[in-house]
Structure 1
Amino acid sequence: MHKLLVAISVSLTLAGCNAGASARGGAQQVGAGLGDAVTAPLDDLNLRRQEIPTVLLQAESNPYDLRNLTHCRTIAAEIARLDEALGPDTDAPPSQDGSYMSERAADAAAGATLDAVRGAVTDFIPARSWVRRLSGADAHSKHVQSAIQAGLRRRSFLKGVGMQRNCAPPAAPAGFVPRQTRGWTGG
């Protein structure tokens, strides 16, 4: 409960700063995410499950599959599907979204507030770890993490294949410059 009060006070402090618009945006984020935070116990009881994207399930079953990946553009398309499911890769340049420091601070405060609400709500479940095990929520959580790790492995593998085949990014790591030879460029 203490975490919740600290997070709310940080959010309110930001609202009083010069960042009025940023604070309003942070407050809107809290409002939008509050429903998920409050219903977090549904995840623990396995009444609500996080969906695993198909591309991650495919990566989990065979992370090194190269079928139908015969050109740079098909490798890039598969990497784009993985990026959509996983978020940007670590080699991707930071996005220049033009946001102000106050907006990023408001985003961080909103995230902390929602984490505190989620933590406070789930703390009320007695023997939570046992409930998660018995309901199957723990096993599903582990499956989600396994699929994410397989997706990360597959994306790294495909970028290595793209680099070996002389493909330009995004079919290869950012910063890779294809050789100007008559090698396989795959188009």
Structure 2
Amino acid sequence: MRTPIWFVFVASFVLSGCNAGASARGGAEQIGAGLGDAVTAPLQDLNLRRDEIPTVLLQAEANPYDLRNLSNCRTIGAEVARLDEALGPDRDAPPAQDGSYVSERAADAAARAALDAVRGTVTDFVPARSWVRRLTGADAHSKHVQSAIQAGLRRRSFLKGVGMQRNCAPPAAPAGFVPRRN
């Protein structure tokens, strides 16, 4: 069951009347910024617009256990940082303290729900969507993107294990690992 678009807009309007007015405006700005991507979602189904796969993920897909040029903790940490940039923070990383208020997080959630509703409504207009995705190659590209992401996750985990074995400090090892003194 999808959230009606009108409900999200009414909720944003009500929030703007509260003390959370700035948060609601931020959510409205987020909707405005993401609306173009949500409306053009069918272009991905038709394979006219594609998500680019970062080079570091393509390299991880080709060889996730490659240790060439990773001879010390600094180079391992730099490779982990490249993967973090492409994948986002690892699960072992502490949550970022962004100082946001509950009202800001609620506005962000409302904005995401509104954009998901728009994206879902627009993609429903593509008849036989699953067949269109298969025939245009969009489905194969989507699977390739997911494969590259999984390879990047495996590589990052592998590198942190190697860093831990070599007594490296984070980010070349898992967060919370304390290298032993020699």
> Normalization by structure 2: what TM-score?
0.96
Is 1:70 aligned to 2:71, yes or no?
Answer: yes
SS of residue paired to 1:126:
coil
Deviation at 1:18, TM superposition (A): 1.7
Deviation at 1:2, TM superposition (A): 5.5
Q: Contact (CA 8 Å) 2:3, 2:113: kept in 1 or not?
A: no
Q: Contact (CA 8 Å) 1:11, 1:113: kept in 2 or not?
A: no
Deviation at 1:14, TM superposition (A): 2.5
Name the amino acid aligned to 2:175. Answer: A
Is 1:160 aligned to 2:182, yes or no?
Answer: no
Deviation at 1:97, TM superposition (A): 1.0
Q: Contact (CA 8 Å) 2:159, 2:173: kept in 1 or not?
A: yes
What is residue 9 of structure 1 aligned with on the other side? 10
Q: Contact (CA 8 Å) 1:7, 1:116: kept in 2 or not?
A: no
26-35 or 12-21, which moves further after superposition? 12-21
Deviations 1:146-180 (A, max 9, x none): 00000000000000000000000000000000010
What is residue 102 of structure 2 aligned with on the other side? 101
SS of residue paired to 1:119:
helix
- Partner Cα separation in structure 1 for residue 90 and residue 3 of structure 2: 35
- Partner Cα separation in structure 2 for residue 12 and residue 134 of structure 1: 42
Q: Which runs of 5+ in 2 are unaligned?
A: none
User: Closer, same or farther in 2 for the Cα pair 1:2/1:84, shift >3 Å?
Assistant: closer
What is residue 19 of structure 1 aligned with on the other side? 20
Q: Which runs of 5+ in 1 are unaligned?
A: 182-187
Is 1:171 aligned to 2:172, yes or no?
Answer: yes
Deviations 1:126-158 (A, max 9, x none): 100000000000000000000000000000000
Q: Contact (CA 8 Å) 1:4, 1:120: kept in 2 or not?
A: no
- Partner Cα separation in structure 2 for residue 146 and residue 5 of structure 1: 37
SS of residue paired to 2:58:
helix
What is residue 57 of structure 2 aligned with on the other side? 56
- Partner Cα separation in structure 2 for residue 97 and residue 51 of structure 1: 28
- Partner Cα separation in structure 2 for residue 149 and residue 10 of structure 1: 37
- Partner Cα separation in structure 1 for residue 159 and residue 3 of structure 2: 46
Aligned length: 181
Deviations 1:37-75 (A, max 9, x none): 000000000000000000000000000000000010000
Is 1:180 aligned to 2:181, yes or no?
Answer: yes
- Partner Cα separation in structure 1 for residue 116 and residue 136 of structure 2: 23
What is residue 184 of structure 1 aligned with on the other side? none
> Normalization by structure 1: what TM-score?
0.94
Q: Contact (CA 8 Å) 1:56, 1:148: kept in 2 or not?
A: yes
SS of residue paired to 2:4:
helix
Name the amino acid aligned to 1:162. Answer: G
Name the amino acid aligned to 1:4. Answer: I
- Partner Cα separation in structure 1 for residue 136 and residue 119 of structure 2: 19
What is residue 185 of structure 1 aligned with on the other side? none
Name the amino acid aligned to 1:106. Answer: A
Deviation at 1:10, TM superposition (A): 3.0
